[in-house]
Structure 1
Amino acid sequence: MRKIINVVIGIVIILLLLMTYISFNIDKNIKLRYWLSEHFQKIEIESNEPAVYFLGIDQVYIDASDFLVAEPNYVNLEWLKEIDATYQYDVSKGILSLIWNGNLLVVDSNGQATLNTQKITEFVTVKVMNDQIYIAAEALNTLEGFDQIGVHILSSEDHQTHIVTLDAIQYQMKRVNHKSYLLKSEDKLKNSQLLKAYPKISDILKQLSVVDSIETTHQIISYEVEADIALIFNGRTIGYGLNQFSDSTDASVYKYAADDFYPDKKAFEHPIFLVWEAVYSKNPNTEQIPKMNGVNVVSPTWVELKTAQGDITEKVSIDYLKWSRVNNLETWILATNAFDPDLTHDFLSSYAGRKQFIDQMITLCLEYGINGINLDFENIYLKDKDILSHFVNELAWQCNEFGVTLSMDVTVMDGSDNWSKCFDRRVLGKIVDYLVIMTYDEYWASSPISGPVSSYDWVESSLMKIIKVVPSHKVVMGLPFYTRVWTENLSNEEADKVKVTSKAIGMVAQNALIAEKALSPIWNEQEGLFYVSYIEENSIHKIWVENEVTLSKKAALVKKLGLKGIACWRRGFEDISVYDMLLKEIEE
């Protein structure tokens, strides 16, 4: 009896050791699972659902539309965003505008096209199905510039499933080390014994539905979906299988990734020191503009979008341009969308409107010798995020052709839909020459809480987030030449509530108010600001003070973070002494 017990114990120990070995030896584990399936499970072959799979960089796109399954020789333009293409399709006119890697393709409703503004003889087929825009793969594979995308369409033997790959995205072919199966979906694979280190007897005895098998002789395309799961094309069928093959499983890589879509344009040589010139009813008397030491760019607010057809109002001043040239200043004309989201939506949706606006901007620059454009489009619907990027790309293409510098003003991240999330900063950072971050209005004019316009810790953290997605040498930091006087009163409408209002004032007015009230500013190290408060007529008034000390502390972030420079809102608000201090912080 004792011998039998010893034998049983020995067998148990051997089995435990074997299970432990198999658990830690992936090769053996996979072989065991396949062997169990092959010898004990009933295998049923099922068909895939008709679909087209596009292998992006970070995800698989599945398009099951009947049109594309039947005609897989088309590319959904949404897929090309994976390689940083931008596009807009004008539904009303049937015009497609597409830009990739510095190449501009425009296709009209008849298939006639221009490539980089030159008419081409080839017709380009564009189709609209279920609000999705498709372009013929042949066009992308033959048109100069776009041919580097390299579209490949691989079909299953029954022509019901297709995989689309791009040369612009580098994939890896893998060799199969172990026999296995392809299943119809991720869920089916997860629920099968193939993905379980210790399959139960009930799992093994269950019928296994597969779309195909994988043999060790296969060269496959394997796309990692999850840590243990891959979408696989084995040359005849598409399905989901184990992500365990020879060769590395590095993620796919965008072959043409770059910091700049237009790298040939000459960069601004020195750190940028820009000051905005707010022009409302009339331009300033240039004889009254003081010397601004260190400033090398001025940006007057001369242009505003007027209609969705691209018409503008402009206040260009020849006298101001003469003054800027005499003082060796570049002039970057600021253009705004009037902060009107409905106007902007209609404008961005119109190919003719965008073209009209861009043509006028370029004409102004060439006619008056204006060096650059500073685009200040704000309050934009989140749904227009992508076509905003495309409009900026169209403008950048023209600016690149004529040597016009293009900068764009954007807010910090993490704000509201219309004022922050509407900007694709990563893509815009590749398009424009410089991205100006408006690191002010931390507590905006209508904020329900009193607070600083631009505290140091907020500015630094905001810029740190930006330079994770935009190269720091293309980032310009915004600085305020103003602050706000906050007034707090007990609310007569809600219990235990404070009503807050504010008024923006410049540095000179701020300093005069502090002197008038005989206030003693208190320094806050974390905020990098001085603070004063006083009570008047039963109201509490609060000011977070901006001066040469606070602005210089923020300006030091230019060197610390490797930024391109600073942009200050606005001339006329400043204490003239601030210029020397700021120059000292940013100069090379």
Structure 2
Amino acid sequence: MKKIIIILIIAIAIGAGTFVVIKNMNEVTEPAFYRMDEPSIIVKTNDDIKEYMGREHIRMDNDHIYVSREILENDLGININYNLDHDIAVMTTLDDVIRFYGEQGKIKLNQDITEDISEMLVTEDTVMFPIDALKDYINIEYREVDNVDRVVMWDIFSNKKMAKVNGKTKIKEGRSFWTDNLGIISDENNVEIISEEGPWAKVITEGGIIGYVKEDKLKDINEIGGVKRQEKTPIWKPESGKIILTWEQVHSRNPNTDKINHMEGVNVISPTWLSLKDASGDISKKISKDYMKWAKGRDYKVWVLFSNSFNPDLTDKFLNNPIAREKAINDLVSTLTNIGADGINIDFENVYLKNKEILVQFVRELTPIMHKNGLVVSMDVTIKGGSDNWSKFYDRKAIGEVVDYVALMTYDEHWAASPISGSVASIGWVENGVKGLLEDVPEEKLLLGVPLYTRLWTETPSTEEPNKMVVKSRAFGMERVKEIMEKENIVKLWDDEAGQYYVVYIEDGAVHKIWVEDGKSIELKSELINKYNLAGIATWSRGFETTDIWHVIDRIIN
């Protein structure tokens, strides 16, 4: 009985094998062309190949090829922001901003209406964009498969490996002779090699089929390199030396320039003239023509500071309104070009963490427009760590990829309301901040922001809690601190860990402490610029310094 069962099993196996062989020999003899009724798209990058089927992914309508936002964003890394409430999509590259206004049916390329780009399609499933009209702007290429709604798309940075078929051969569904035949590739036909897996090569045929052929069936293999991706470098650098920037803090009135001393080595000034006024994109302005005339007369570059007024609710409403963002950008460009400014310094602080991505979107929309008008773009960021609203909302890497310069604000280690006394910017804390930002921003874009002020800390025993000191502080410039240090009973010590002099004295029943910013401490911070080959320094803010500081900085970094 066992022998009979064994014989039957062998017979069945032989029969099955014979069937598979016959199936593979006789099933498909037609050329390898895609034959599905649904439209489809193959998306190829250096790292991956994906295939999508259905009109929710690709459509061929009105002589245009529309591809979904999700494919463009997720597979090709194209930056697209779509606002459903306003039916506006904004597509950004390092060089251009393309705005699609849904119901209005208009398209803007940078600041001008264009008819060279078709409207977007808004469907129940997604938003779709015409890649045939956009390919030169978003760095993609594509080819249509003959006689069928199928497209092969790739970014121009991807490498390609092409080959010819050496004799008529079958293309298989998998890496085995036993898998299904997908068709026949004729002798001398071109294929693109996607990957090489043992004796098999995964290929795309001219007919849009993805499958496998034996490597020994390929010849004339030719590797074609993709376009080299260009990193965006600053549009302006000093002709010699490093950038020495100082911020000009303007409150209700601009400074009397007759009283501003010579600032040795300074080549950029940034007056705090512009701030966000309301959520519609209106801007408050404190511009002084006299100050501009004074600055230009001394060959200073002027990068006007634009802040979000440090108001998180206002910033949230503004950033999430594409009309407001565009309005503000147009006003900023017009204002800066009209007064003869050289650039902008973006100072957005106290921003909700939920606005992290949309803040980057705003910077992506602003920067190409600024560049087309010859304006340098810099942005201020804090040291990594800290709270959501004051640190974590910055996408430092994304910002660094877009702007010309990133100014790292290495101050307020111990802030005005700190519960304990301490340095505003100890040297170790500053250096760690630099090393942290260099993980995300290239050295040639990084400006080291340092304080020209310090804090006088006052500590008194608490009358409410035992063993607790009540700590208060006031910010002082260097000249005021020098006056304080002339008091009697002052103790002055060098704090090697802080890289600063430490001063302590008792007055009016309270302990007073200062970690002093002076020429020696600024010299140590300036040396970090050479150590890490940074783009330069930025100082907050002019008027807090003693006259020797500019010589100290210029001597060290230039």
Identity of aligned residues (%): 34
Distance 2:113 2:383 in 1: 41
1:75 corresponds to 2:68: yes
2:271–2:305 contact (8 Å) kept in structure 1: yes
Aligned match for 1:549, one of 503, 515, 520: 520
On the 8 A contact 1:552/1:581 being kept in 2, the answer is yes
SS in 2 for 1:478: strand
Q: Deviations over 1:183-225 (max 9, x none)?
A: 9xxxxxxxxxx9xxxxxxxxxxxxx999999x9x99676589x
Deviation at 1:567, TM superposition (A): 0.8
Shift in CA distance, 334/136, structure 1 to aligned 2, threshold 3 Å: same
Does 2:161 align with 1:168?
no
- Say which SS state the counterpart of residue 485 (structure 2) adopts: helix
Contact 1:305–1:335 (8 Å) recurs in 2: yes
For residues 459-474 of structure 1, what are the structure 2 equivalents within 5 Å? 459-474=430-445
Q: Which residue number in structure 1 is paired with residue 137 of structure 2?
A: 146
Paired residues of 1:75 and 1:136 also in contact (CA < 8 A): no
The alpha carbon displacement at 1:283 in A equals: 0.9
Q: Secondary structure at the match of 1:515?
A: coil
Q: Measured at CA, do residues 308 and 563 of structure 1 come closer, stay the same or move farther in structure 2, by a change above 3 Å?
A: same
C-alpha deviation, 1:371, in angstroms: 2.2
Question: 1:302, 1:333 within 8 Å by CA — same for their partners in 2?
Answer: yes
Amino acid at match of 1:452: S
- Which stretch has the larger CA shift, 64-73 or 556-565? 64-73
Contact kept in structure 1, 2:145 and 2:151, CA below 8 Å: yes
Which residue of structure 1 aligns with residue 356 of structure 2? 385
Partner of 1:456: 427
Structure 1 residue 409: Cα displacement = 1.4
SS of residue in 2 equivalent to 1:334? strand
Q: Contact 2:478–2:517 (CA<8 Å) still a contact in 1? A: yes
Partner of 1:530: 501
* 1:198 alignment counterpart: none
Q: Which amino acid aligns with 2:81?
A: Q
Equivalent position SS for 2:418: coil
In structure 1, what residue type is equivalent to 2:292?
L
Distance 1:281 1:331 in 2: 20
Paired amino acid for 2:130: A
Matches of 1:113 and 1:355, distance apart in 2: 13
Counterpart of 1:406?
377
TM-score for the superposition, normalised by structure 1: 0.71
1:306-385 equivalences under 5 Å are: 306-385=277-356
Q: Is the 8 A contact 1:56 1:79 kept in 2?
A: no
The structure 2 residue matched to 1:520, chosen from 492, 502, 507, is 492
- Separation in 2, partners of 1:63, 1:292: 61
- How far does residue 236 in structure 1 lie from its aligned partner after superposition? 7.7
Correspondence for 2:98 among 102, 105, 116? 105
Counterpart residue type for residue 490 of structure 2: A
TM-superposed deviation, 1:238: 7.4
Q: Return the match for 1:86 from 63, 73, 79.
A: 79
Aligned to 1:28: none
Could you tell me how far 1:173 is from its partner in structure 2? 7.2
Structure 1 residue 314: deviation in Å? Answer: 0.6
Alignment of 1:126 with 2:115, yes or no, is: no
How far, CA to CA, are the matches of 1:77 and 1:477 in structure 2? 38
**Aligned partner of 2:408: which letter?**
I
1:548-586 per-residue CA deviation (whole Å, 9 max, x = no partner) reads 101111111222222121110011211222111111011
Cα distance in 2, alignment partners of residues 78 and 289 from structure 1: 56
1:558 alignment partner, SS class: helix
Cα 1:254–1:563 shift into 2, 3 Å: farther
Within the alignment, does 1:578 sit opposite 2:549 as a pair? yes
- Does 1:299 find its partner at 2:270? yes
| Residue 562 (structure 1) aligns with | 533
Relative to 1, partners in 2 of residues 1:478 and 1:150: Cα closer, same or farther, differing over 3 Å? Answer: same
> Structure 1 residues 444, 321: CA separation in 2 closer, same or farther (over 3 Å shift)?
same
> What corresponds to 1:484 in structure 2?
455
Unaligned residue ranges in structure 2 (runs of 5+): 1-16, 22-38, 213-217, 219-223
Write the distance in 2 (CA, Å) between the matches of 1:547 and 1:478. Answer: 15
* 1:267 partnered with 2:237: yes
Aligned equivalents of 2:291 and 2:545: distance in 1? 20
Task: Give 1:67 shift.
Answer: 2.2
Q: 2:261 aligns with which of 270, 278, 290?
A: 290
Cα distance in 1 for partners of 2:383, 2:540 equals 16
Matched residue count? 518
* Aligned match for 1:135, one of 129, 135, 144: 129
Find the residue that maps to 1:387 and give its secondary structure.
Answer: helix
Deviations 1:276-308 (A, max 9, x none): 111111111112222222222221111111012
Q: Residues 62 and 379 of structure 1: is their aligned pair in 2 closer, same or farther, counting only changes over 3 Å?
A: farther
Residue 109 (structure 2) pairs with residue 115 (structure 1): yes
Amino acid at match of 2:519: E
* 2:68 and 2:126 in contact (8 A); partners too: no
Deviates more, 1:109-118 or 1:284-293: 109-118
Aligned-pair CA distance for 1:59: 7.7
User: Contact 1:409–1:436 at 8 Å: present in 2 too?
Assistant: yes
Q: Distance in 2 between matches of 1:409 and 1:211?
A: 59
Instruction: Tell whether the 8 Å contact from 1:410 to 1:437 is kept in structure 2 after alignment.
Output: yes
Does the 8 Å contact 2:141/2:153 carry over to 1?
Answer: no
TM-score by length of 2: 0.75
CA 1:66–1:107 in structure 2 vs 1: closer, same or farther (change >3 Å)?
A: closer
Residue 231 of structure 2 aligns with an amino acid whose one-letter code is D
Q: Aligned AA for 2:95?
A: G
**1:433 corresponding residue in structure 2:** 404
Cα distance in 1 for partners of 2:40, 2:420 equals 53
The answer to whether the Cα contact below 8 Å between 1:392 and 1:431 also exists between their aligned partners in 2 is yes
Shift of 1:56: 5.9
Shift of 1:106: 2.0
Q: Of the candidates 391, 402, 411, which is equivalent to residue 420 of structure 1?
A: 391
Alignment CA distance shift 1:458-1:212 (3 Å)? farther
- List per-residue Cα deviations over 1:243-302 (Å, max 9, x = no partner): xxx9xxxxx9984533317x7x44332421111111111111112222222222221111
**Equivalent residues of 1:293, 1:580 under 8 A apart:** yes
How far off is 1:340 after superposition?
1.6
Deviations along 1:426-471, one digit per CA (max 9) or x if unpaired, are: 3322322222111222232233443322122222222223234322
* Aligned partners of 2:100 and 2:106 also within 8 Å: yes
Please identify which structure carries the higher helix content.
1
8 Å CA contact 1:88–1:349 kept in 2: the answer is no
**2:281/2:327 contact within 8 Å kept:** yes
